[in-house]
Structure 1
Amino acid sequence: MARFWARFAEEKLFYAAWTSMWSKGEQKERAEKETIEALEKIEEQLNGKKYFGGDDKIGYLDIAIGWISYWLPIWGEFRSIEILDPKIFPGITAWKTRFLDHPVIRDSLPPRDKMLEYFHKHSHEFYSRFGSSGK
């Protein structure tokens, strides 16, 4: 089941979130809706557990979809939107905090400010390749 959810996050959530970040108009609205729907399904999988495997330790699925905890907030900040609203996604929000606070994860991630700087610096290129021509 973990492989299903890892693939789901990659094929449904990643694509929708990325599309919503670089699109405008109806395409953006549709992608934002798909992003929320995918996150709702992932939220259900946590079902009060600390980690997706249910244990008190990080497992395969946590690693496979760990990008959610780091990249979605960065993308949201870059686009000035809140993707992971803690009121709507309390489970994912709590998981995200635990996951990012783990020393192995925390010490392996690039600096957040550098990633934001990267997106701002390359936004024109991303828009021309993946979406609309403006922010």
Structure 2
Amino acid sequence: MEEEVKLFGTWPSPFSYRVIWALKLKGIPYQYVEEDLSNKSPLLLQYNPVHKKIPVLVHCGKPICESMLILQYIEEIWPHINPLLPTDPHDRAMAWFWAKFSEDKGPIFFNFFRSTTGEAQEKAAKEVLEVLRTLEEQGLGDKKFFGGNTMGLVDISFGWLCHWFEVMEEVLGTKVLEQKKLPNLHAWAQNLKEVAVIKENLPDREKLLAYFKSLREKFVADLSNHNA
């Protein structure tokens, strides 16, 4: 009997897409369940009663929550199909180091998008640039992908930079991931978008742009109400 795999996600979430990319890369058939986070399904609440968030992968009836833990699980269950991690123990440890770095630094990018005044936005943009420079110089170097010539775990972890972050920049009218400032990372983002698994599995850009514009307007309105 075929092992049942279900993914509970939501279309604007880069965390959902991390899991989609990994499953597609490994050729694992799965059923996708779109969640409305303003009206969460009883199944989502049953499978993730602690955080009540997406994504949730359900494999043979057992749920796994949090995108990075799901990626780890996928790699451990299907290790020989398009491995996400290198075989060398040191290289594998470094891949997890940078994957954790992506999680630790995530709030800096969120603060950048939330910043509403010129001064705050400038400060947030500098913090984002510092993170991206560290990633460029210490993580990526002159490689095509973080693991070398093929996409792996770290590329999936930071994959949202090649689509979601570009949309954020457009909404804010500020460009941070520029070719002249970050040539290697900029080239990486372009290369990643050409990988079939990524290219064929991205949310519609115009729909995402409208979503982020509406989110941005909400942040600005909330700040205005708070200061009123």
Same fold, judged at TM 0.5 (above): yes
- Corresponding residue for residue 75 of structure 1: 168
Report matched runs for 1:10-21 at 5 Å: 10-12=103-105, 14-21=106-113
- Contact 2:167/2:212 (<8 A) preserved: no
Which of the numbers 201, 213, 220 marks the counterpart of 1:108? 201
- Contact 1:9/1:38 (<8 A) preserved: no
TM-score when scaled to structure 2?
0.53
State the secondary structure of the residue aligned to 2:121.
Answer: helix
**In structure 1, C-alpha distance between the alignment counterparts of 2:129 and 2:224, rounded to whole Å:** 24
- Corresponding residue for residue 93 of structure 1: 186
- Corresponding residue for residue 144 of structure 2: 50
More strand by share: 2
Tell whether 2:158 aligns with 1:65. yes
**In structure 2, C-alpha distance between the alignment counterparts of 1:73 and 1:124, rounded to whole Å:** 18
- Contact 1:124/1:133 (<8 A) preserved: no
Q: Which has the higher contact order (CA 8 A, sep 6+)?
A: 1
Extract unaligned runs of 5+ from structure 2.
1-93
TM-score when scaled to structure 1?
0.86
Extract unaligned runs of 5+ from structure 1.
none
Larger radius of gyration, structure 1 or 2? 2
Could you list the structure 1 runs, at least 4 aligned residues long, displaced by more than 4 angstroms after superposition: none
Q: In the comparison of the two structures, how many residue pairs are matched? A: 130
Q: Percent identity?
A: 37
Change (3 A) 1:123 1:100: same
**In structure 1, C-alpha distance between the alignment counterparts of 2:224 and 2:202, rounded to whole Å:** 30
